[in-house]
Structure 1
């Protein structure tokens, strides 16, 4: 029979052997018969075993970690003993955040721990620490866990880490674009795991603004390339997840930073073509079409696509009033039912 200490040590071993790899952690039912399962980088742990490990981690955190001074934190950063020999301090907080992603005190301890390294350690050592911290956060944010994919605490911590990392490395504008693109992949994965992930896309907006400010500091006159690199992958994701309003609003946000009119028009045409071809009736997509055409003066694109369908007459009766996106959808429905339209191709989605 396993004890709380045994279950704690199993998780210590998992995180200690992680290195810089991204794990996929999932809470498994007790009916599997074992509290832990592992297949390569895929980890399964029961809620009961995780709660038992938390009991030990929490006790160690408040007795050992919380009283640490800045000198203690620095000494902890630079010690070179193998992590598998004991429960390293940073692994204690990793287990706590696995159980409770909103444990702000544990997250702030990690900021203090990283800050101690920033103040005293050399560049190569810091790069390694930053990469391990980002891969840890990706483990949380891209695993099928209930709350981690949309945790404001974890997304805020990730932004803090990247802010510190970019401040030290001072990458050139091309590298900033690659960084933004890599972070977008993580956000889109989190968006798949938790639909309408407001916190993930808000993080991406904040990161984009930060990268734009850094690019301007390098003297780049119009750092629109950072947003342009994200347009196509975000659009592909939105067309694969057309019900997700958070994704569509992030795509609209990116268009604000892409001044090229042909790029904006091409995006709207592609979305409208998709909606008409598959007869999509969902609110999120049509809201995107309505707002982007109005914001960027692209009404002519919709008129050209739906020119055979009559515009709806305005009504003064409250029960007949519609939201703007619904009026556009009504025109699309009229287009589908007109002679030569795609009414026989497939049913509305």
Structure 2
């Protein structure tokens, strides 16, 4: 029978040895016969085992971590690879957030730890690479939560807010080229779409994506025209988002994000092509779901795309009754 200490050590060893790997964590039923399973980066644990590990982690947190000063937090971060005790300090909050993704105290401790390093080490070039590594590792931890089949983590406002904060710090530390920023945006979209698959109508994930777009659009790049840069960022995402929406046509949050992107794209032809594509899909499969048709209705009205609707319906009518269409196009002669 697994004790709380055993359960804590099992999960602690997984997080301590994670490195920069992204885990996929799932709550498994006790009927499988084992309270804990691991296959590489795939982790399965029963709810009882997770509760046991959390009780130990919470006790250690309030006993050992809550009273840490900024200097102690800084030493904790900068020496994390030199002491097994310091590593276990870090995984305490990781286990707490695995059990309760809205545990603000644990999340804020991690933020305080990073802020202490950012405040003390900005003028130390030798610490720069270490800070970048720590921030990237924080992002992979969050992705482990947000892209795992867990009940609440995929739509946790606490985790999405923390992810945006970490990205802001990363962008402040490291100057990025426009290509690197576009790659970053595409990667974050993949994270969001995976979370949205696991939890349909994921308002918090798509809100994070809107906030990220606004953040990246505010970064000065060449060309200096801010509107064209914001438009390029939005344009890059239009087709991947439409692909996802057409594969998940009932998800209103995805369609709403699609409208947001089209609103930031200055290319009217791209808007017309996007709406035409969605309309043809709806007509071909006979889709009657409200979310997709709401997207069509709003985009047609907002971007003045009535001609696109007419073209699709005329083409559809001609395909169904080509004889009548041809006859109507030929004027009678005597």
TM-score, length-scaled by structure 1: 0.86
Is 1:172–1:218's contact at 8 Å kept on the other side of the alignment? Answer: no
Out of 249, 260, 265, the position equivalent to 1:258 is 265
Q: In the aligned structure 2, how far is the partner of 1:277 from the partner of 1:146? A: 35
Greater helix fraction, Structure 1 or Structure 2: 2
Q: Deviation of residue 118 (structure 1)?
A: 1.3
- Matched position secondary structure for 1:37: strand
Q: Deviation of residue 306 (structure 1)?
A: 2.1
2:20 alignment counterpart: 20
Q: Deviation of residue 225 (structure 1)?
A: 1.1
Out of 136, 155, 161, the position equivalent to 1:131 is 136
Q: In the aligned structure 2, how far is the partner of 1:129 from the partner of 1:88? A: 16
1:10 alignment counterpart: 10
2:94 alignment counterpart: 94
Equivalenced residues, count: 316
Is 2:2–2:49's contact at 8 Å kept on the other side of the alignment? Answer: no
- Matched position secondary structure for 1:273: helix
Q: Deviation of residue 172 (structure 1)?
A: 2.5
Q: In the aligned structure 2, how far is the partner of 1:81 from the partner of 1:18? A: 13
Residue 306 of structure 2 corresponds to residue 299 of structure 1: yes
1:113-132 map, 5 Å: 113-121=113-121, 122-132=127-137
Q: Deviation of residue 116 (structure 1)?
A: 1.4
Q: In the aligned structure 2, how far is the partner of 1:81 from the partner of 1:39? A: 25
1:181-330 map, 5 Å: 181-215=186-220, 219-221=224-226, 222-223=228-229, 224-307=231-314
- Matched position secondary structure for 2:219: helix
Q: Deviations over 1:276-325 (max 9, x none)?
A: 1111111111100000011111011112222489xxxxxxxxxxxxxxxx
- Matched position secondary structure for 2:27: strand
Q: In the aligned structure 2, how far is the partner of 1:102 from the partner of 1:19? A: 24
Is 2:251–2:291's contact at 8 Å kept on the other side of the alignment? Answer: yes
187-196 or 82-91, which deviates more: 82-91
Which structure 1 residue ranges, 5 or more long, are not aligned?
A: 310-334, 342-349
Is 1:57–1:96's contact at 8 Å kept on the other side of the alignment? Answer: yes
Q: Deviation of residue 339 (structure 1)?
A: 5.1
Aligned-CA RMSD value:
2.1
Q: Deviation of residue 220 (structure 1)?
A: 4.0
Residue 29 of structure 2 corresponds to residue 29 of structure 1: yes
Q: Deviation of residue 86 (structure 1)?
A: 6.9
Q: Deviations over 1:10-39 (max 9, x none)?
A: 111000111000000000011111110011
